[in-house]
Chains A and B, each alone.
Chain A
């Protein structure tokens, strides 16, 4: 299985901050990388697919980049509704493993 490692595991930030979350794959996965947001008690929501493509309806303050083994999710200006847990997922080979998650908390 391909291992996905996110950093940091948790992060405190303030409204308006720029935040970056990193995801590293244990082997090259080209651009087969997705990002999801999960709020407490809710199902995950697809934010970014193919490393950098914004899912329909997702605000443009979210962006993704990277290829190969190293990827980032950036939120350009945090909004109150962005405080949640974020997961990366590789879709290069099954099982399509997820990272362990990054919990974004209000400072």
Chain B
């Protein structure tokens, strides 16, 4: 079964660092981009960025560039999303998702992780 399994919920204080994970299985992890999507409480979906685990090529949304770091360890089929200094406004559900190529230049997220809830509160 193709799946992405994310790490568990986190409760952190402002200023703390955090790294959450997304482990892929059932497919060739290095052959598909992995994306991260934020959903703030009661709000919509926001595309944060993507990484190609095969060579760690990474693209960020301008809204998230410099705010988070996306990385991957292909040896353990795991992608990461990390913060160096959390803010209360980072409180959200974070999803990872596998990006498939439909045709050249056309993509969609076909497999999603279950989400990791990050709560930042003093």
Contacts and interface: CB of A to CB of B under 8 A. Distances in A.
Nearest to B45: A98
Interface residues of A, number: 26
Contacts of B109: 34, 36, 44, 46, 89
B114 interface: yes
A100 to B, nearest CB: 5
Interface residues of B, number: 28
A43 B112 contact: yes
Contacts of B95: 43-44
Interface in B51-96: 59-63, 95
B108 A94 contact: no
A95 interface: yes
A53 B112 contact: no
Nearest to A44: B112
